[in-house]
Structure 1
Amino acid sequence: MASDSPHDPPFRADHVGSLLRPPQLLKARNDRAAGKISAEELRAVEDSSIREVVAFQEGIGLQSITDGEYRREIFYSDFYFRGLGGGTVAYDPASIDEVYFIDREGHKLPLLVPRVQARMRWHAPIHVDDFKFLRAATSGTPKITIPSPTIIHFRAGRQNISTDAYPDIDLFWDDIVDAFQRELKVLADAGCRYVQIDETTLASLSDRRVWEPLRKRGDDAHTLLLETYPEVMNRAFARRPATLHLAMHICRGNNQSHWSAEGGYDLVADTLFNKIDVDSYFLEYDTPRAGTFEPLRLVPKDKTVVLGLVSSKFPELESKDSLKRRIDEASKFIGLDQLSISPQCGFASTAPGNRISAADQRAKLKLVVEVASEVWGS
């Protein structure tokens, strides 16, 4: 179902979605958690903050506009736990010995681990109201981001998915697939034509360091990587309307300037580009942890790739010359016309955000727009 008209969307200058929360929004969320303000008062602060961040994106020349994920604590929690129900998520200190988030100074954070206690089922539209609000606030192309169908299983493992709720794991997958099929349809019916799937499992499984912890819990990483997860994704995306452009962002973890995996796309490239039914890809390429551009040779001609060359984790601003050299290097393996540029990830996959300033964020997004204009024209 890959699109015949690349770059509209994604655009030559694009971005992954989440943006730094302003102080007033963080305060309002904390006040709501403490019972100091009502849900309606929090919603009003969210609405105002989203209008401001939409104007920010439009002001620097972006055509793809998101709500910054300002209504979310964690990039996937609203879809799964507010939307589908049936579970909770919390940091697991025990995970820090084997799998963890790490920053460039070597400091570690434990992983967030979901626990599923009941059926996770789609009951009503989850992000349609968010889309409608965003569409009314922008003259650009509104983009909705939703998490991958595989995130809960990968992070939870069978031991954290209740056997009372799901005596057969196939029933769990059926519920997840049904939820994605329904949500993509209602988004398209509401007029949404640009959805981005935030996919963290394939890049994590490309890091052989995580294979042993998976084996200990009873999972074969190779099977998950090349068979189980791609099959689930294709089932989840299979019935989406033809009007909906589906992009997939491949992420190695993004939490307060920490990451959780490293390794190139080599292990998964053929499956990712040729066997998973999406229209375009946002690929992290900001550090050597992402490997080389060589796997891009496997991208079919009717699909597009957004090169995540600008770091959303670190404040240092990349030079235009270095970015142009990287684009030129990538174009040795894939046509230049199939390429775009973006930051490598969102700026705030979790509410606290990465360790950069609002001025850094602005400079990096402005740099993306300027480089795209100079490489591909307006």
Structure 2
Amino acid sequence: MQVKFNAVVAAAALLIAGTASAQDMVVKIGHVGPTSGGIAHLGKDNEMGARMAIDELNAKGVSIGGKKVKFELLAEDDAGDPKQGTAVAQKLVDSKVMGVIGHLNSGTSIPASKIYSDAGIPQISPSATNPKFTRNGYKTTFRVVADDVHLGGTLGRYAVKELKGKSIAVIDDRTAYGQGVAEEFAKAVKASGGAIAEQQFTTDKATDFTAILTAIKAKKPDVVFYGGMDAVAGPMIRQMKQLGINAKFMGGDGICSGELPKLAAGAMADGQVVCAEAGGVEGEQKAGMEKFRADFKKKFNADVQIYAPYVYDATMVMVDAMVKAGSAEPAKYLPVLAKTSGYKGVTGTIAFDDKGDVKNGALTLFTYKGDKREQIAVVR
């Protein structure tokens, strides 16, 4: 009886050992975005972009250093708050992630970048545009979008040269992103021979803009620029209409979402809004982006808001570096990631410079007709 029992135990042990050896190597990748709060729709859009990439990689079957890999997405919510951002960054480090995609906002990406750098974990932001993000000398920090110098500068020149803005007002939400893009916009307006007639500030939680818009109305603006996100921009456009301000409304990628018409509650006139999104596809690349949007809609029954394609590309670029390095260990694949060049993504061709910024970053200018976003031009 004892012999039989031992034989059963031995057989079970062999079976367990066989199962363990057949198991995939698990590689954890973190994703952080604000999936609660005023811009939760953008955070969820980002997270779905990461999930789409991870699901595709797992379905395809990827081997790293001769071992079959199963990718696991560890998704965290930073609520767009710097304190929560650093807390979840530490949580991901403690969870032994091999890389992080995120964060969405500059205000959370910048403080979190030190935590990832100290741990030696690569971080690719799909949407943080404040120049400071890649200027701290961290070797682990990358982004796949053009920064605010490019974004704000392009919009500032467009306001003066194309929209012929004579009285230009600037509002920002005092966040790292909003203030940064507004400053670059104002610089470019002045460099293009224009003038800023009025400058006002709000917060990213504000809902009533009567006082600042009344001050702006006195300057008879033909262009109002807002540095911030769509959750504030929508109600601001609505209140501009109520006050009889018929100016063009401009902003960066933070306002350039599919939700903006809903948030403005029908107050947007056709062609009134001009916004820019970091990234841009032209010619043959358009088909790839259109396919991505269709696949995304089919998978999640939701339209792409703004950044999901950049999150998808960031995830794929990170895994591509792991495959090329033959290792998912951060110290081994980080040098390969830094040398990324000519990677064909859905958002365009990706290569990093020595700071971790995307090279030759494109911008796409958009307006809205009805509740649909329409492309004006791709600018480099």
TM-score, normalized by length of structure 1? 0.27
Pick the structure with greater CA Rg.
Answer: 2
TM-score normalised by length of structure 2: 0.27
Q: Which has the higher strand share?
A: 2
Higher relative contact order (CA 8 A, sep 6+): 1
